[in-house]
């Protein structure tokens, strides 16, 4: 049976890996929608290769270019955030959510409302609006709506929980490579360049998540993602630095057993698991030779090096819309670092200042978690972050 699938963020790292899997078995899939940002040439190429119904670019200014590239193919072209959301309302069985940042939330919610299975690479959805995403999936459950993790750690935990009772879970441990600056002297961190922060020792990912790995903001987001996805209390979630990135997560049970997920650092495993779930199918990833690898190292994270982890714990304790504020402040600080306005260390200081200032705004953090309030909190956090960055 042909499955109808859409890929949001198809031109990115996760999007390309998803296409790599799907393109190996073209008969099995009908591609509904593909979406991208500025890389219109690649978006059009993908749409033509996969015979998509529609290709959508996030930017209105790119529409004419996209139209010209798709002329005569019968593939529809559209542009803008609303068009992306509309594309997400087209019926599909399986939808990959791989836009980077808070922009991934609205199309993900729209896809769940149609009853699609949402493969969630966009961790920001759960960080900014976890309860809303889960409630939307539950509300449309009888139509088929379902959430599957794609983040490697969360896919690993999900796999470790198959056949288990949540009552028997004592703790969840997600691993972190430590990123580019794991072994740098602390006082050197402020001199880290954009190029240095954009290179990851183990994973080949988009630039933003690569820098977030160096600062551990990625792991901070993943702590919150773990809390939301699996519904465990924050004190049961641990981060462990594991430089080889081969053990992705461990689940600790009440009988003392630790179930570890071990596999190559290749996102096609987690994407493929979500694509074929609940079955396991052959995937084109390397098979590990543990004897050749020889050793696996683990160490606790240093919270002086990575203050983002402490901030994530504060956000989880606060709850409400503090995740939306945290994520938006982080996105703005990251923009500031990429633009050369602030140094690497300043990013977490900016985020902390935004959290402090906005948690004092009456009625903001503990307003109802709906899309309007998430957007309002997100906007306020970005404005506040800009103010802090500009007055530095
Ligand atoms: P990427 O930067 O390589 O790709 C992002 C995609 O989103 C591109 O198609 C881009 O055009 C599109 N995009 C960017 N801004 C947009 C906007 N405002 N509106 C609409 N589309 C927009 O990112 P990535 O590394 O593929 O990561 C995608 C998501 O998956 C992120 O949430 C990331 O945290 C998560 N993730 C990535 C990896 C990885 O290995 N790359 C692993 C785990 C989780
Ligand atoms: Mg991850």
Query: DSSP per residue over 223-287, as a string?
Result: HHHHHHHH---GGGEEEEE-TT--EEEEEEETTS-EEEEE--S-THHHHHHHHHTTS------PP
CA distances from residue 101 to 98, 231, 239, 329, 331 in whole angstroms, order as listed: 9, 22, 22, 11, 7
pLDDT of residue 170: 98
- Reading the block at residue 363, the tokens are 């009625």
Q: What percent of the chain has pLDDT over 70?
A: 100
Q: How many CB atoms lie within 10 A of CB 186?
A: 11
**328 close to ligand 1 (CB < 6 Angstrom):** no
Over residues 237-260, the mean pLDDT reads: 98
Gap between the Cα atoms of 187 and 193, Å rounded: 14
Nearest CA to ligand 1 atom 23: 206
Contact 47, 76 (CB under 8 A): no
Over residues 322-334, the mean pLDDT reads: 98
Q: What is the pLDDT of residues 30-60, one digit of tens each?
A: 999 999 999 999 999 999 999 999 999 999 9
Ligand 2 centre to CA of 149 (Å) is: 10
C-alpha closest to that of 245 among 280, 296, 292: 296
Our CA dihedral for 3, 8, 98, 104, rounded to 10 degrees, sits at -130
Contacts of the segment 335-341: beta carbons below 8 A, 24+ positions apart: 336/385, 336/389, 337/194, 337/197, 337/211, 338/194, 338/207, 338/211, 340/194, 341/389
Q: Does the structure show a pLDDT above 90 at 109? A: yes
Gap between the Cα atoms of 368 and 348, Å rounded: 27
Ligand 2 centre to CA of 152 (Å) is: 5
pLDDT of residue 300: 97
**124 close to ligand 1 (CB < 6 Angstrom):** yes
Provide the residues around ligand 2 (an ion) whose CB is within 5 A: 151-153
Residue 21 burial by Cβ neighbours in a 10 Å radius (0-12, 13-18, 19+): middle
Gap between the Cα atoms of 219 and 215, Å rounded: 9
Q: Which of 77-86, 127-136, 185-194, 201-210 has the lowest mean pLDDT?
A: 201-210
- Reading the block at residue 13, the tokens are 């790292």
**36 close to ligand 1 (CB < 6 Angstrom):** yes
**208 close to ligand 1 (CB < 6 Angstrom):** yes
Task: Print the SS3 string covering 175-209.
Answer: EECCCCCCCCCHHHHHHCCHHHHCCCCCCCCCHHH
CA distances from residue 293 to 245, 258, 287 in whole angstroms, order as listed: 12, 21, 12
Over residues 83-103, the mean pLDDT reads: 98
pLDDT of residue 301: 97
User: What's the mean per-residue pLDDT of the chain?
Assistant: 97
What's 167's DSSP letter? Answer: G
Over residues 221-228, the mean pLDDT reads: 98
Contact 37, 57 (CB under 8 A): yes
Which atom of ligand 1 is found nearest the CA of 152?
A: 43
pLDDT of residue 1: 83
Question: Ligand nearest 239 Cα, by number?
Answer: 2
Question: Ligand nearest 331 Cα, by number?
Answer: 1
Contact 110, 88 (CB under 8 A): yes
**99 close to ligand 1 (CB < 6 Angstrom):** yes
**11 close to ligand 1 (CB < 6 Angstrom):** yes
Gap between the Cα atoms of 157 and 149, Å rounded: 9
Ligand 2 centre to CA of 71 (Å) is: 38
**151 close to ligand 1 (CB < 6 Angstrom):** yes
Q: Does the structure show a pLDDT above 90 at 392? A: no
Contact 17, 271 (CB under 8 A): yes
Mutate to test the pocket of ligand 1, among 209, 219, 268, 335 (most ligand atoms within 8 A of CB): 209
Phi, psi (rounded to 5 degrees) for 36: -145, -170
Ligand 2 centre to CA of 153 (Å) is: 5
**96 close to ligand 1 (CB < 6 Angstrom):** no
Q: Which residues contact 345 (CB under 8 A, 6 or more apart)?
A: 189, 190
State the pTM of this model. Answer: 0.98
**15 close to ligand 1 (CB < 6 Angstrom):** yes
Q: Does the structure show a pLDDT above 90 at 363? A: yes
Ligand 2 centre to CA of 207 (Å) is: 14
């Amino acid at each position: 049976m042909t499955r109808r699938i859409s890929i949001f963020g198809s031109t990115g790292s996760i999007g390309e890996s998803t296409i790599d899997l799907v393109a190996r078995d073209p008969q099995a899939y009908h591609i509904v929608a593909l979406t991208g940002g500025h890389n219109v040439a690649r978006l059009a190429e993908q749409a033509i290769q996969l015979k998509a119904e529609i290709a959508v670019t996030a930017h209105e200014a790119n529409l004419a270019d996209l139209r010209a590239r798709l002329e005569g193919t019968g593939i529809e072209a559209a542009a803008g955030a609303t068009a992306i959301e509309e594309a997400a309302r087209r019926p599909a069985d399986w939808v990959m959510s791989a836009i980077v940042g808070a922009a991934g939330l609205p199309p993900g919610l729209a896809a769940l409302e149609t009853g699609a299975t949402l493969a969630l690479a966009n961790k920001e959805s759960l960080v900014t609006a976890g309860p809303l995403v889960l409630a939307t999936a539950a509300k449309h459950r009888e139509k088929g709506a379902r959430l599957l993790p794609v983040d490697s750690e969360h896919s690993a935990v999900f796999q470790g929980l198959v056949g288990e009772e949540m009552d028997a879970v004592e703790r969840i441990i997600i691993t972190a490579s430590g990123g580019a600056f794991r072994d740098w002297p602390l006082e050197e961190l402020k001199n880290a360049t954009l190029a240095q922060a954009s290179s990851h020792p183990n994973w080949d990912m988009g630039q933003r998540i690569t820098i977030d790995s160096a600062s551990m903001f990625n792991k901070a987001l993943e702590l919150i993602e773990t809390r939301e996805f699996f519904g465990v209390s924050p004190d049961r979630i641990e981060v462990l630095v594991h430089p080889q990135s081969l053990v992705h997560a461990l689940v600790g049970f009440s009988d003392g057993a630790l179930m570890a997920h071990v596999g190559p650092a290749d996102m096609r495993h987690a994407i493929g698991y979500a694509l074929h779930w609940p079955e396991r199918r052959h995937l084109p990833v390397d098979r590990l030779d543990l004897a050749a690898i020889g050793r696996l190292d683990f160490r606790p994270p240093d919270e002086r090096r990575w203050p983002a982890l402490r901030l994530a714990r504060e956000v989880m304790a606060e709850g409400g819309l503090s995740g939306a504020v945290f994520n938006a402040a982080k996105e703005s600080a990251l923009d500031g670092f990429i633009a050369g306005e602030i140094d690497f260390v300043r990013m977490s200081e900016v985020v902390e200042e935004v959290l402090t200032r906005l948690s004092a705004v009456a009625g903001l953090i503990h307003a109802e978690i709906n899309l309007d309030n998430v957007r309002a909190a997100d906007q306020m956090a970005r404005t506040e972050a800009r103010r802090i960055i500009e007055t530095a």
